Chains A and B, each alone.
Chain A
Amino acid sequence: MAPRTLFDKIWDQHVVRELADGVALLAIDRVFLHERTGSVALKGLAAAGRPVLDPARVFCTMDHIVDTFPGRGDATRMPGGEAFILETRAAARAAGIRVFDVRDPQQGIVHVISPELGLALPGATIVCPDSHTCTQGALGALAWGIGSTEAEHALATGTLRVKRPRRLRISVEGRLAPGVTAKDLALFILARHGVAGGDGFVVEYAGSAVRALDMEARMTLCNMATEFSAMTGLIAPDEVTFDYLRGRPYAPQGVAFDAAVAAWRDLAGDADAVFDREIRIDAAEVPPMVTWGTSPQHAVGIDSAVPAAGSSGAAPEAHARALSYMGIEAGQALASLPITAAFIGSCTNSRLSDLRRAAAILRGRRVAPGVRAICVPGSMSVKRAAEAEGLDKVFTDAGFEWRESGCSMCFFAGGESFGPRERVVSSTNRNFESRQGPETRTHIASPETVAASALAGHIADPRRVARPEAA
């Protein structure tokens, strides 16, 4: 057999039947749903009188619209939001689907809880009507976002009709500098290769700097493959992956786990496998990054100035529009821009390690006056684990709100927002116009940069905040 990549092996294992023109009928191992877009899929299916083929492999969570205020119930800040929760719950129950419901101790953002529960596994095909499903590729799964109609297809048939993508490898060699994270690497790739850079491809992240990332950092990196316009991103499973999965509730247990690991070891691409395109990145070149504009590719090193038209890669009108929306001017130093809000959360950066790194910067300090700071753990399990370490105290002592888990203000559901023209430094993944609220100005960065900026009251380089233990 010709040498194959990780992607090829997963693909081949799932082909139920070849259809025309490079399209295959692929078996789908896991379907995830949430109340924002899964609800409508379940409703469509029920209306068509089509049953869910295998409800045991379908999972549903309440994360997008659900409130994140302490003591929450089904009522939401979003007008009409409660109906989404009630309808999703009823439809999922009727279909026999496990729901990680509002008060479930395992509730959380879908892409956080799936790996955490051992639902996402190496070599699995995973879909969800949510673009950031690519996050789960970090485990060596083929996980991608689809629409609601395709979700109906996956639910009803256990398959999807998929056009085979081309293969792109992004090799990151060397070591990320201290204070530089997977988030900075993801933004660096977008800044250098553009938001359409992965169009038509499935991206395998490889190289020594990627292998050196822990599991949660790998999820952060894969999370932004959709911002790259790729079908998805994935990373070959290795000991880091297997150690992470061991003992997780839905992962195989005991001898079954060992048997699975033996199979998962064979998933890594063959040494001489060929990719359709290769990108190489020197890890040492990557600085802490922050976005200045309204596209994730509008990212620069945190020491940089807002780029001038022509140097940003954006068309002149798009550049001008982004500057005007963001209320900034070319040439302005990013690291001095005053902020009014700081947000730590989202499927990109809301896991325990993210909160630990942010807390290390916040410990014993206070958020600058006039800055509204919020931390939203990615799942109730993350929240409990953080509280067991006292991290909640670090956040609240610093002046952060400490929330229940969910997507919260990663996106504007129609309820809570930061407000027009408020400037937010955010550990999320999208800085589109009005993403976090009508006319809200979003600067995406790592949780460290969000924490450092919250303390300073302006965008700030986390490497310049002296660590108390080092002082």
Chain B
Amino acid sequence: MEPLREITAVAAPLLRDNVDTDAIIPSREMKTVSKTGLADGLFAGWRYTAIGGREPDPSFVLNQADFSGARILLGGANFGCGSSREHAVWALHEYGIRAVIAPSFAPIFAANCIRNGLSPVRLPADAVAALAAHVAVDPRSRPITVDMLRCEVRAAAVDGAAALRFPFTFDAESRDMLLEGLDAIDLTLKHRADIEAFLIRDRSARPWIHLGRHNPDRST
């Protein structure tokens, strides 16, 4: 996974609350057993004029020239709620999004972001609104910076508008994963001895969990 330290990019506002993963990628757009080929289906229900079509709806934010190349999304509360489908994050990532800034995230969506090098940054609703207002004046000349090293979101002073700076908190493990681009399985397999020791203890403490002696599938 590619590390995510700092990103400065055009930010696109999608400020409605409860943007669900069906909206981020409709199930009908998940056409094969694959983590790729999903960017086209991103926000398909909102982005195109017709269901299943590919004609851009000009009213959708990502179709507007000002926001082309956006790599940051400004979102509403409970972003990524609904289905656990990681395809939502794969689609965002493939499209080019590297950070979503929102007041809150659905927990499975946030965990999926971390596993894929995309940062879910929590900021209070008024801070997200301030960033959106700042960007709205001229999205292309007013990029936003998400700095994972310092844990802050910034916008530089421009055209008389003051600079913006919002610190955020991030749990240390998730931040390390993003900063270093770590693979969680590799990290965990370093504790293989602990896992084996646990299993030995657990087989005698909770034999019913291990389906060894009593397993309808494996009994002869």
Contact = CB atoms under 8 A, between A and B. Distances in A.
A87 B31 CA distance: 13
Nearest to B86: A147
Interface string B17-36: 11010110011101111110
A130 interface: yes
B89 A147 contact: yes
Interface stretch (A21-29, A212-220, A458-466): A21-29
B214 A195 contact: no
- Interface majority SS on A: helix, strand, loop or mixed? loop
A129 B84 contact: yes
A372 interface: no
Interface in A23-39: 23, 25, 27, 29, 36-37, 39
Contacts of B184: 149-150, 153, 161
Interface residues of B, number: 65
B138 interface: no
Nearest to B46: A433
A315 B214 contact: no
Nearest to B108: A145
Interface stretch (A175-183, A341-349, A406-414): A406-414
Interface stretch (A250-258, A277-285, A351-359): A250-258
A187 B85 CA distance: 23
A184 interface: no
B216 interface: yes
Contacts of A23: 171, 173
Contacts of A414: 27-28, 31
B145 interface: no
Interface string B182-200: 0011011101001100110
Contact of A131 (B84, B115, B207, B214): B84
Interface in A1-41: 13, 16-17, 19-23, 25, 27, 29, 36-37, 39-40
Contact of B172 (A20, A39, A411): A20
B4 interface: no
Interface string B202-217: 1001111111111111
Nearest to A64: B27
Nearest to A91: B33
A147 B214 contact: no
Contacts of B199: 27, 158
A260 interface: yes
B84 A147 contact: yes
B69 interface: no
Interface of B: 16-18, 20, 22-23, 26-28, 30-35, 45, 51, 77-78, 81-87, 89, 104, 106-108, 111-112, 115-116, 171-174, 176, 184-185, 187-189, 191, 194-195, 198-199, 202, 205-218
Instruction: Rank and list the top 9 A-B pairs by shortest CB-CB distance, nearest first.
Output: A414-B28, A147-B86, A147-B112, A252-B208, A21-B172, A149-B115, A438-B51, A131-B84, A145-B84
